[in-house]
Structure 1
Amino acid sequence: MPHSADLPDDIPVLVLNGPNLNLLGLREPDIYGKDTLAGIEELCRETAAAHGLRADCRQSNHEGVLIDAIHEARTAHRAIVINPAGYSHTSVALRDALAAVELPVVEVHLSNIHKREAFRHHSYVSAVADTVICGAGANGYALALAHTATLVREKR
């Protein structure tokens, strides 16, 4: 199986968004902002391109679909940027999938999960992520992709 550092340069970064993020811009804009998922995906594509990368953006409300995408990333992507949303706090299976793929992982959250309800303070994903960015709104995705570019270069 090829290592991410051995992949051709046109292999994308997987930008994976979890449950309810398809409702961005509509759902609790005072917490999550007014940016839509489509707008964030465009920001991701632009930021990735500015750093010599390509972004493959996906979203699912289903844990198994997210896990399947992570498994696919093992050979089809060079890194993963993930907003696991509510699964951050509940899914050992998502954490285990991320640990198994041996790719750079950057976890991103729109809100600062540490300033919210106590149950949101713990993320299973954080334990296997190389970096965690939270509380920067949609700009957190741009920060995540810029840092992912650094991680990818370091792995080469």
Structure 2
Amino acid sequence: MTALNRVPSLLTRAGTASALTIAAVGGSIAVPGAAGDAAAASPATRALQIAASKQGSPYQWGATGPRRFDCSGLTLYAYKKAGKTLPRTAAAQYNETHHISASQRRAGDLVFFHSGRNIYHVGIYAGKGKIWHSPKTGSVVRLETIWTRSVWYGRVS
């Protein structure tokens, strides 16, 4: 059985979160064992996939996974699993990223929400104006449209 023939069954087993991630990162899929695609995925793409795989995980202030997350805990966890180190808080993560404009943003970049100069939230850009994030107490990790223009973007290097 070729890797392409396995894709439909992999999608069925992977679930909705993975299918949404595949759509968000441009419609491609990395099939384990197929032509090195998984190894070729960038850390940003892997972090996005990892964050999406946590869909439905409950918010908990100060939590960094693997079952519960706050906003920066989710980004920290996803990038750590993708092989990159980030600081613990959203503001510290912003300070450690390469700042980019909205027109330069790509799937896997971090989206920082701010009020004035104060950063209060972070998520992972999924494309098409959406982010994966862990929003607030009583909520869960989810894909959501960016709801404000008061955002800055950062790329993890």
Give the TM-score normalised by structure 2: 0.27
Larger radius of gyration: 2
Q: Whose relative contact order is higher, 1 or 2, with alpha carbons under 8 Å and at least 6 apart? A: 1
More strand by share: 2
Give the TM-score normalised by structure 1: 0.28
